Amino acid sequence: MTSQSWQLIKPVSAIVFDCDGTLSSIEGIDFLAKNNGVGDIVKSLTEQAMGQTGLNPELYQQRLELVFPRREQVYALGHQYFAHKVPDIIEVITLLKRLNKTIYLISAGVNPAVKMFGEMLQIPPQNVFAVDLRFDQQGNYLDFEHSSPLINNDGKRAIVQQLKAQHGNILHIGDGLNDIATQDMVTRFIGYGGVTYRKNIADACKYYINTPSLAALVPLALTLDEFATLLPEEQALYQKGLSAMHEGKVLLNFDNDKSPPLEDVCLKLDPSLSK
């Protein structure tokens, strides 16, 4: 197989994942809101932030004051994130780590829930960025980390800028406006619509995964040389991702008239796709 226009030429050394709606199929603040009787209004504010206006401190504060989460609810949310993890994510992260990719989780969600989820995915706590909450001695919500860059729509951009000092080539995958804000800074940005499809995000991305499984991330995250090093079970995951591309579940929004049809490329890797 020869290298194609969608295939990375130089390897990335770090992969940045969003959390809510990307690694897990739930939006954490919406999950807490539903349990506390304010689900509809908070969900509308979340969608406004993720798909329309972007995050800002006022909206962030408004949601938390509506939800008023207790400490034990936020701890329980970490387990809910894991219970609702998207298909194939454990296998994908395991493969990427074996290929010496540094994994980061950057989220506007709340700690300790996000860090707990990261730990369950075996992402080191120092590689997890989220917004800390404060509680009183009885576990009642008091306040959030106002100094966190993540309460702003360009917060992930600021953190990715810091990571670029350590990693020359970074891949970022996420579903919201605060994710796509990094698109011009990273080697490859991949939009994810496997939980919530957002047309404005899809239209702005070169690569957009529109299926729940994150197996499609694997072919988009590896070079041809890295593909050659995959173990048999990893090759199966790669081919599952390639099948999603072949079936049109990954939107490739770029023009390259010299590239052969994606179907021809897929068949070189997996002849069974012709059946």
Residues annotated catalytic, as ranges: 18, 20
Phi, psi (deg, nearest 5) at residue 129 = -120, 125
Q: How far apart are CA 244 and CA 233, in angstroms?
A: 17
Give the C-alpha distances (Å, rounded to integers) separating 211 from 3, 142, 200: 24, 38, 17
Q: Could you tell me if 81 and 26 are in contact, meaning their C-beta atoms sit under 8 angstroms apart? A: yes
Q: Which of 151, 154, 133, 152 is nearest to 143 (CA)?
A: 133
Q: 19 forms bridges with which residues in the sheet?
A: none
**What residues pair up with 171 in beta bridges, in sequence order?**
15, 188
Pairing verdict, β 170-174 and 188-192: parallel
Give the span between the Cα atoms of 270 and 236, in whole angstroms. Answer: 10
Q: Please report, for residues 147, 165, 201, 240, 273, the alpha-carbon distance to residue 263 in angstroms, rounded to integers and kept in the order given.
A: 48, 38, 25, 14, 9
Euclidean distance between CA atoms 19 and 29, whole angstroms: 12
Closest CA to 179 of 213, 162, 202, 210: 202
